[in-house]
Structure 1
Amino acid sequence: MALEKPPTTLKQSISTLADQCVQCGLCLPVCPTYALDGNEAESPRGRIAIAAALARGDAEPTAALRIHLDHCLGCLNCERVCPAHVKYGELLVETRALIGPMAHRPRALLAMLKQPTLLRLATRIGGAVGLARWKARLSARLPADSAWRSALETLPAVADQTPPQAAANAPSDAPVVALFPGCVASVEDAAAEAAATALLRAAGYQVTRLPAFCCGAMDLHGGELQAADRLAERVRETWMASGATQLVTVTPGCLGTLRRALPDVTVTDPITLLAARADRLSFRPLARRVALHVPCTQLNVARNENALQNLLRKVPELEVARIPAPPHCCGAAGSHMLEFPERAARLREGVLGQIAILAPQQVLSSNIGCRLHLTAGMDAEGQRWPAMHPLTLLAQQLEISP
């Protein structure tokens, strides 16, 4: 059943959401784009005013006006500190749906990223021709603001896909967890998916894997509401056939969209479930210093950053240094790094600077987009901090009971 709202309903909803804002300004210090530009229009408060004007018909979505809405990362730092509990994420999604997608939205590239089969084929072809070795020369020939250039720069080298040790299957009466692979993550973060399965089984869960497809996040945040609603319907149909009691994804960037599609289902990060049964897990020592990057969606949607740090502390001799905030966002923000690569690179600089201060041997980040974006920045600066999903490290160190 489609969830599309007509323009009149969208306008009324946007006006109602915008009226909740008391214009206190507490969101400004935590907004990464406001920090980047120092411009009120690039703040949550400014964007709420723009959204309200568009909904009332007091303004038209000209390129000069809508660019401030397009620049928003959707990090939701503002929601976390808002004393009026404004549902900024919902307001942003509905305002973008009202004005429609950007004219220069890289549709062909995004269409490929949303199709795991196409993405896997492209990855295999790239690996066969050694694209990772000469991607820098190829990307240098493209304009600095090209989405394809940004995609090339984030093309990973061949990742370590060594599967973790297999844990024994959970008892037949154990709770069943469905794992949603997603689109990009199902290809580029397959190791983390295998790690999540091994860890959840070791913690006493049965795990079933759903088909790999896009949850609709890129469409939802890009103003393509009809496309997002079609994918939401596919999520619901797939979930109903799973027989599971809970849904998890290794990519926190999918959480908000999955929860929107399944409002009556427990949709969470494997980390939350693992932390609840941490006493069932034990790990081998690892003498290593890691820098922990906490993606915005893990901080503001999953809200389980403490659970993740507690799990990592269970690995003996592992030294975990969390990358401080600010900086507030690495700039990846779903398709933002493709649509606004120069702005995304500026936001990334602050995070890389903090990583350099920590001087780690490895970087951990749970969001595949963030990890690819940060790795591209490391490559550009000649840094060599291998990046990995925290679950992959935990599964590598997991002690399997005989």
Structure 2
Amino acid sequence: MCGLCLPQCPTYLLDAQEAESPRGRIAMAAALAKGTVSATPALRLHLDHCLGCMSCEKVCPAKVEYGELLVETRALLGPSQERPDTLIGVLKRPALYRGLRAVALIGTVRRGLARMGGWLPARSPWRVALGMLPRRNVVRGGSEPFASQGSRPSALLQEQAPARGHVALFPGCVASVEDAAAQVAAQRLLVAAGFTVSALPAFCCGAMDAHGGIAAGAETSAEAVRRAYVASGATTLVTATPGCLSTLRRALPGGVAQDVISLLARHADDLTFRPLTERVALHIPCTQTNIARSDADLRRLLARISGLDVATLPAQPTCCGAAGTHMLEFPERAATLRDMKLRQVTALATSRLLSSNVGCRLHLAAGMTPETAIPDLHPLILLAEQLESP
């Protein structure tokens, strides 16, 4: 109740009212749980506007578990009637998404979809999704050898030397398609650090259901995570997608689920990188700084590339507006936050944009103009590209 979270909250930044702040939402959640208020559309909208960025939880001196409160409250309310279930259903199924994406990127189809997107209302989630399609049918980010591969990670990579440990790499759903190059890069770096790596099947961790109020669907996904992890025989689950991390930790409590960047940073002395003279912009996603807490680890890894000038985007506003499915459900609010971030990117005058969250990169890239556009990629790809072969 102290209010220290208010300056950290991106929705309070947008609206400057208590109903759009963490403590305002906690008060509404408590009243809903007690039955003293009903879930009117206006009250629900304030709760649905929350990005789940967890910036409030990170600075809270009382250690209020806001993230769990948010998930439980949304489960109490159930899914919103405005939730784009069909679109989200496609995103949660990597094989279906990959196939539809390939068709959508055929020249004539792509041009037709672009025209269709222009006809759709500004608030249409389908318009947002179509606007995020890349202009060419390539794996997003990276250069040779990653962008040209277009393949998923191999099922198992084994170091010739005695392994440091056995980890399972969780690829997620959208990330397994749009960030396939980052999954390959993560494997390469982990093997170079001495790990045996098992690549798990691609499926949704349950985050979209958990944050959409679909508790049963989230639990089904959590059970799938547990089964896949046990079947891998690994002792640690890692992910290159920080947006999945909190959901994976709920599925596998006890510190089993980790950010691959933090794991690599602990063994950075085993990795040697070639120099690179380049100035790049670094976007730190909310999930990386507030949940994975691996932003300092990432900076240390990038600092090992001699000559690389890393310009980190300012923290405020704390969120770019992507926030999982938020950019689909509230595109105008998401675009306002995105524009703030993109002005920061332009001011830094860099050649590429690094961000570990594929949703953030899709969202930011969709808002770039031809004059301001720069390539975007996962920082693991840059690290793997500069990795010295043993």
**TM-score for the superposition, normalised by structure 2:** 0.94
Q: 2:17 aligns to what? A: 39
The match for 2:68 among 67, 79, 90 is: 90
Q: 2:269 aligns to what? A: 279
> Shift of the alpha carbon at 1:198?
0.3
Q: 1:4 aligns to what? A: none
> Shift of the alpha carbon at 1:170?
4.5
Is 1:159 the counterpart of 2:138 in the alignment?
A: yes
Distance in 2, Cα, partners of 1:298 & 1:286: 24
Q: 1:117 aligns to what? A: 95
Distance in 2, Cα, partners of 1:63 & 1:37: 18
Cα offsets for 1:28-83 (capped at 9, x unmatched): 00000000011110000100010011011111001011000000000000001111
> SS of the counterpart of 2:368?
helix
CA contact (8 A) 2:139 2:178 kept: no
Distance in 2, Cα, partners of 1:355 & 1:33: 21
CA contact (8 A) 2:265 2:297 kept: yes
Is 1:321 the counterpart of 2:311 in the alignment?
A: yes
Is 1:209 the counterpart of 2:187 in the alignment?
A: no
Q: 1:229 aligns to what? A: 219
Q: Map 1:239-250 to 2 at 5 A.
A: 239-250=229-240
> SS of the counterpart of 1:104?
coil
Bigger mean CA offset, 133-142 vs 47-56:
133-142
Q: Map 1:10-159 to 2 at 5 A.
A: 23-133=1-111, 135-157=113-135, 158-159=137-138
Q: 1:183 aligns to what? A: 173
Distance in 2, Cα, partners of 1:57 & 1:353: 44
Cα offsets for 1:273-321 (capped at 9, x unmatched): 1111111111112111100000000001110101101111111111000
Cα offsets for 1:133-186 (capped at 9, x unmatched): 565432110000000001011112333574459998253443001000110000
Distance in 2, Cα, partners of 1:384 & 1:322: 17
Distance in 2, Cα, partners of 1:338 & 1:372: 12
> Shift of the alpha carbon at 1:325?
1.1
> SS of the counterpart of 1:384?
coil
The match for 2:322 among 325, 332, 354 is: 332
Q: 2:379 aligns to what? A: 390
Change in 2 beyond 3 A, CA 1:173/1:384: closer
Distance in 1, Cα, partners of 2:316 & 2:190: 32
**TM-score for the superposition, normalised by structure 1:** 0.91
> Shift of the alpha carbon at 1:128?
2.3
Stretches of structure 1 lacking an aligned partner (at least 5 in a row): 1-22
Q: 1:266 aligns to what? A: 256
Stretches of structure 2 lacking an aligned partner (at least 5 in a row): none
Work out the number of aligned pairs and report it: 378
> SS of the counterpart of 2:232?
coil
Q: What letter is aligned with 1:121?
A: G
Distance in 2, Cα, partners of 1:174 & 1:302: 22
> SS of the counterpart of 1:241?
helix
CA contact (8 A) 2:324 2:359 kept: yes
> SS of the counterpart of 1:222?
coil
CA contact (8 A) 2:168 2:237 kept: yes
Distance in 1, Cα, partners of 2:112 & 2:267: 45
Distance in 1, Cα, partners of 2:364 & 2:372: 11
Percent of aligned positions with the same letter in both sequences? 59
Distance in 1, Cα, partners of 2:345 & 2:163: 44
CA contact (8 A) 2:354 2:377 kept: yes
Q: What letter is aligned with 2:351?
A: Q
